[in-house]
Amino acid sequence: MEQRISLITLAVTDMERSAAFYEALGWKRVESPDGVIAFDLIGQTLGLYSKDALARDMGIEESDITGFSGITLAHNVADKEDVAPIYSAALAAGGRGIKEPHDIFWGGYIAYFADLDGYVWEIAHNPFSPLGPGGEFQWNGAA
């Protein structure tokens, strides 16, 4: 298996409501088949998929897809000043604030919010991992 993630799928309770949340953050939908809403990212795609359909696909009960999974999704930004406006936009779109923008012990600047289905996002500026010219992130800085 190659060392990459191609698609991140979020199981959501209301696909159109969730799509509107991400669109309020400035994201653009791409054409996708019925039953899936997709947003192309830099090098990946974020897919919104009905929670009951995903449970059915996996052969589990929908109630088994609940709560905080211990995973956060991160969106890194080029400058410290870019964190707060994104955090504010997420709250204005109906997201729940978890931790306001703040300096962090390792030298960065971060904030946490949850989307409409409880998926936790970290908005981060990491001065030790500058973004590439297309916004791409790599741990030690994009080439």
Phi-psi label, residue 136: left if phi above 0, alpha if psi -120 to 50, beta otherwise: beta
Is a pLDDT exceeding 90 seen at residue 21?
yes
- Distance between CA 143 and CA 130 in Å, rounded? 9
Over residues 75-88, the pLDDT tens digits come to: 999 999 999 999 99
**Of 50-54, 90-94, 106-110, 117-121, minimum mean pLDDT range:** 50-54
pLDDT at 67: 62
Read off the pLDDT of residues 25-68 as tens digits, 9 standing for 90 and up.
Answer: 999 999 998 899 999 999 899 999 998 888 887 787 777 766 66
Domain ranges across the chain:
1-58, 70-128
CATH class of 1-58: alpha beta
**What pLDDT was estimated at residue 2?**
75
The residues that bridge with 102 in the sheet, in sequence order, are 110
Query: Is CATH 3.30.70.270 what the domain over 70-128 is classified as, yes or no?
Result: no
Structure pTM?
0.85
DSSP for the chain, written as a single string: --S---EEEEEES-HHHHHHHHHHTT---B---TTEEEEE-SSSEEEEEEHHHHHHHHTS-GGGS-S--S-EEEEE-SSGGGHHHHHHHHHHTT-EEEEEEEE-TTS-EEEEEE-TT--EEEEEE-TTS---TTS---TT---
